[in-house]
Amino acid sequence: DIQMTQSPASLSASVGDRVTITCRASQNIRKYLNWYQQRPGEAPHVLISAVSTLETGVPSRFSGSGSGTEFTLTINSLQPEDFATYYCQQSFSTVPYTFGQGTKLEIK
């Protein structure tokens, strides 16, 4: 299985801050990397696919970058609704698809 490791596991920030979350893959996954946001009590929803493609309706303050084994999700000018848990997911290897362990973004 391809292991996905996110850092940090948790992060405290304030409204208006810029934050970056890192996701590392245990092997080269090229650009087969997606990011999800999950608020408490809700299902995850996709923010970014294929490293950097913003999904419909996702604010432009979200951006993604990287390739190979290291990827980042950046959120500029944090808004109150951004405080949630974020997951990366690889689709280079389909069986199984794997997720990072999550990064919980909390209000400072």
Partner 1 sequence: QVQLQEAGPGLVKSSETLSLTCTVSGGSISNHYWSWIRQPAGKGLEWIGRVHSNGLTNYNPSLRTRVAMSIDTSKNEISLSLHSVTAADIAVYFCARATIGASVYFDPWGQGTLVTVSS
CB atoms within 10 A of CB 37: 21
Query: Cβ closer to partner 1: 19 or 51?
Result: 51
CB-nearer residue toward partner 1: 76 or 91 = 91
If the CB atoms of residues 32 and 75 are measured against partner 1, the closer one turns out to be 32
- Say how many CA atoms lie within 13 Å of 81 toward its Cβ: 4
Nearer to partner 1, 53 or 74 (CB): 53
**Angle at CA of residue 37, ends 17 and 88, nearest 5°:** 100
Instruction: Give the nearest distance from C-beta 8 to partner 1 in angstroms.
Output: 14
Q: Shortest approach of partner 1 to residue 95 CB, angstroms?
A: 5
State the Cα–Cα distance between residues 86 and 23, nearest whole angstrom.
Answer: 10
Ramachandran bin of 52, using left for φ above 0, alpha for ψ from -120 to 50, beta for the remaining angles: alpha
**Min. distance of Cβ 49 from partner 1 in angstroms?**
5
What is the contact surface with partner 1 in residues (CB under 8 A)? 1, 31-34, 36, 42-46, 49-51, 53, 55, 87, 89, 91, 94-102
Instruction: Report the amino acid identity of residue 40.
Output: P
